[in-house]
Amino acid sequence: MERCYQTFVSVVNPKQHFSRMLEAVRETIHLLPRPILIQCGHTPFISNDCDVIEFISMDLFVQHVSQAEILILHAGAGSVLHAIHANKYPILMPRRAEFNEHINDHQVGFAKKLQSADKVFMADNTDTLDCGIKKVKEIIHFNSVKNNKSLAFDIIKNRLELILDKENEKCHEN
């Protein structure tokens, strides 16, 4: 069985390097929940703080996306759509032509549109990645509190219904 990672970072499979993203991850790795998996593709990356793999199957990619709390992804449409479909709020770092990370900047426009719709957080460097990690952690905490309040409400509601049912039974007995 595959290990469950709390943070999943993926540059996917393009032949172009993506050192900018992986170096930003290295600089912010202390903020990330562990264990961490980095899928580095054709970009050499070594770290003692996480597991690193060059390539993974689509099935494993989907599994890691669905299980991780924090997702840091390049801004390719397929990766992003899998994350959003899994109800995640991914941090995207678009590949840029000026750094020879892609042939054009289509990922930048795509990420900006999704960020304006509040579906993702777009990062470009270590500082904005730091902000994105903190924002996603806040979202996770807020959702956890909201779910706990909802659970507490359900428990109280069920208890009150039981009490009221018992009171109704007493009334009907008399």
Residue 65 included in any domain = yes
Determine the distance from the C-alpha atom of residue 14 to the mean position of all C-alpha atoms in its chain, rounded to a whole number: 21
In the chain, the number of structural domains is 1
Instruction: Decide: 49 and 29 in contact? Cβ < 8 Å.
Output: yes
Residue 79 included in any domain = yes
Gap between the Cα atoms of 82 and 2, Å rounded: 19
Residue 129 included in any domain = yes
Cα distances (angstroms) measured from residue 91 to each of 19, 77, 151, 165: 16, 13, 29, 49
Cα distances (angstroms) measured from residue 97 to each of 12, 26, 31, 102, 122: 17, 22, 28, 5, 17
Q: Provide the CATH number for the domain around residue 86.
A: 3.40.50.2000
Strand partners, 39: 10, 53
Gap between the Cα atoms of 89 and 4, Å rounded: 18
Residue 82 included in any domain = yes
Structural domain span for residue 84: 7-143
Gap between the Cα atoms of 156 and 64, Å rounded: 35
Joined tokens for residue 155: 């428990």
Tokens 């806040």 locate to 138
pLDDT in tens, the chain (174 residues): 578 999 999 998 778 889 999 999 999 999 999 999 999 999 999 999 999 999 999 999 999 999 999 999 999 899 999 999 999 999 999 999 888 888 778 898 999 999 999 999 999 999 999 999 999 999 887 776 655 555 556 666 667 677 777 666 666 665
Gap between the Cα atoms of 119 and 122, Å rounded: 10
